[in-house]
Every structure is written in C-alpha cells, then in structure tokens.
Structure 1
Amino acid sequence: MGRRRAAASVGLILPTLMVMGVVLVAASWWPLPGVYGREAGTLRSVSATVVESAPCGSSTAGDLLEMTVDGEKVRARYDGCGHSRGRQLRVRIPADPAGKFTALPAGSGEGNSGADLRTRLSWVLVTLAGVAGGGYSLMLRRWIFDRPSA
C-alpha cells in the first residue's frame, strides 16, 4: 500500500515540476524588449563629454554630459557618477532625444538584450534547479520514511 501512495505522489510531483519549468522559461523570455529586433532603434549610440562630475553617493543625479546630436549640442544627465571632467564616453540615448532624458552606458539597456537574456536564463535555471531539488528531496523523504520496517 505504501508503494502505491509513493508512486501516486511521484506521479503528481514530476508533472508539476515540468509545468513549473515551462512557465519559468516562458516568463523569462516574455517581457524582454529588444529580442529578435523588437523595439530596435529606440536607442542610439553617441560620443559624449563629461562637463560636470557628480560624486558617487546617495541621491546624486549623475554626471552632466554634453553631446552633439543631429548637429546640435545637447546636455543630459548620465546614469553614472565620478567621471573626470573632459572624459569622452560612449553612451546610448533615445533615437529622438526631445525633452529631458538620461544617457545610459553604451553596453546597457535595450541595446544589450543578449546579456539580459543570458542573465534571465541563468536565474531561471537556478530557480528551476532549486525547485527540482526540493521536489527530489520530498520524494526521497517519502521513500525513506514511508518504507515498511523489516
């Protein structure tokens, strides 16, 4: 009788783990912008010069950058701090930089979806391994403690 109950619990745990794995992988791919060309071109890369350096610490707005965009000098805050004045940086800005915006480091944001995808998949695999390990320990616990004594 104990073996039937153990087989029934395994029959419920394994499909549950498989469904959870599929859901986790689907969730990791779903909200990622920039994969397969979606929303491509929303950011463009330009060269900028640090005009005002902001100290790194709590509640700093970031360094002030100056860049030439479509023949016009534009100033924007940088998503970073502590760069020396006059330093040249490669940054990503909106394709249409109208209004106030924040410049991003060149290797970040939607333009770097490959690294974002690798990071997400790594977290999904770690989570899936934890769930599978938990399910396996439940199966072992039941197998060990539900065995009839000889």
Structure 2
Amino acid sequence: MASPEPTNACPCGQTNARQQALAYAACCGRYVDHFETAPAPDAPSLMRSRYSAFVRERADYLQATWHPRTRPAQLDFDPGARWLGLTVRSQRSTGEDTAEVEFVARYRVGGRAVRLHETSRFVREDGRWFYVDGDQQ
C-alpha cells in the first residue's frame, strides 16, 4: 500500500487542542517512518502508531515494535479491510517500564463491521516501547 501524504490526517485520529486532525507526519508518521531514529516516547503513542501501521499495512514497523518474546513470524493483512477509527479508552502505567492501553479499533471487512476491543500490554526495554500482548474484551 502506498504511503500516505505527510500532510494527510493521521489514521489514528489524534487531534490538537483546537480539535483539528494532526497530520500523519506530525503524529504517527514520525515513528512509523523513522523507527530507528524516533521511537515512540510512551505506550499510548506506540499503540496509536501501531494502529496507523495496521491501516497502512506496514508489517516492518509492526514486527519491529512487537516484543521478541511474543512476536509472530509473519503478519498477514486482510486486503478487504477498511479501517474506520480508533478510540483510546484508557491508559495506565503498571510499573516503571510497563503500561496498559485499552482501545477500540473499528473496521469493515466483506461488508461486515468489526470492533476490536483490547487492553494491550507494553514494556520498555533499552529506551524503546514494545507491544507484548493483549486481552480482547
């Protein structure tokens, strides 16, 4: 899938104080497109950037930000999926280098609406946050 224009609204739906959509380059794009030099600073930012990576089918970023202990060997994307939005319900620190983020991601596939509600766990190692696993609601 082609990369979004840097000025397009970020897929994660993040807005500024005036409720204007943030541009991809100023939001998740800075992490997805520059993982080696600009890691996500916290678990909620990593979670949002991973959602954007799913929307953009960026398996490289998803694999790089998945903890090696739980990372799948490969990722498959449903070519018919149309991502509709992300809502972060809550976020909390569970330790100095651990956190949880509860979110709902909505998408449509084959004309059917799907709602993914998960509480994800994250860990920070060597200054980088990684997705570990999650519990679907």
What TM-score do the two structures reach when normalised by structure 2?
0.23
Structure number, greater radius of gyration: 1
More strand by share: 2
Question: Greater relative contact order: 1 or 2 (C-alpha under 8 angstroms, separation 6 or more)?
Answer: 1
